[in-house]
């Protein structure tokens, strides 16, 4: 008998390194209760689209500036998710803020990875290299990554998993960003996706 799996959509904007970590985790059996069936890109040039195609996963670009407004953009994405019967949304370097109109439709069904230990260096404006620049500027000795549920407050949803990464002498924001990805994000994001997928399957 075929095992039922949670249907996953991964939202991306750029290179898709976190998407690749998820694809690899699926191949290696780390993600077993879920299956990535759709990649939604906010940018037609995103290399993540190539990664999806190489893995045989459907990829669709929905570009905000080609829509009438935020509401139109979100409704187009919602239609896409509804058509594909998506159970779980994973934000993996997705650079478009989603409003309550969107997030309220998927309570505890959207997860995000943030490159710091929430509640440090998070919230509006804290994304990409800026997170690591601020951590270095502040002089913290430990940083890391957090996987959390997404609600209408940026980085405000319930924490699912965290992993710490030590800051080393001479770290630049770029060096730290790479270490946080390798030692934290790429490890806990697949683990969190599996954990939430298993819970979704149980509830079905």
Question: Residues with catalytic annotation?
Answer: 114
Token couple for 60: 């669709």
Question: Taking the mean position of all CA atoms in its chain, how far away is CA 89?
Answer: 8
Distance CA 126, CA 122 (A): 5
Q: Which H helix or E strand runs over 164?
A: strand 159-166
Give the DSSP letter string of 165-201. EE--TT--HHHHHHHHIIIIIHHHHHHHHHHHHHHHH
Q: Which two tokens stand for residue 197?
A: 């997928």
167-186 burial: b if 16+ Cβ within 10 Å, else e: beeebebeebbebbbebbbb
């Amino acid at each position: 008998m075929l095992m039922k799996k949670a249907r996953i959509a991964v939202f991306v904007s750029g290179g898709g390194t976190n998407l690749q970590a998820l694809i690899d985790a699926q191949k290696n059996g780390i993600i077993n209760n879920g299956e990535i069936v759709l990649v939604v890109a906010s940018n037609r040039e995103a290399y993540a689209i190539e990664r999806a195609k190489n893995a045989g996963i459907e990829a669709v670009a929905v570009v905000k500036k080609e829509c009438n407004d935020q509401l139109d953009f979100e409704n187009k994405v919602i239609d896409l998710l509804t058509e594909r019967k998506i159970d779980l949304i994973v934000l993996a370097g997705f650079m478009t803020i989603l409003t309550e109109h969107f997030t309220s439709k998927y309570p505890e069904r959207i997860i995000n990875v943030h490159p710091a230990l929430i509640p440090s260096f998070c919230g509006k404006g804290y994304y990409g290299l800026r997170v690591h620049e601020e951590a270095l500027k502040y002089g913290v000795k430990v940083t890391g990554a957090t996987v959390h549920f997404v609600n209408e407050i940026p980085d405000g949803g319930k924490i699912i998993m965290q992993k710490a990464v030590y800051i080393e002498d001479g770290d630049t924001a770029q060096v730290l960003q790479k270490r946080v990805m390798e030692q934290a994000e790429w490890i806990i994001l697949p683990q969190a996706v599996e954990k939430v997928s298993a819970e979704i399957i149980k509830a079905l």
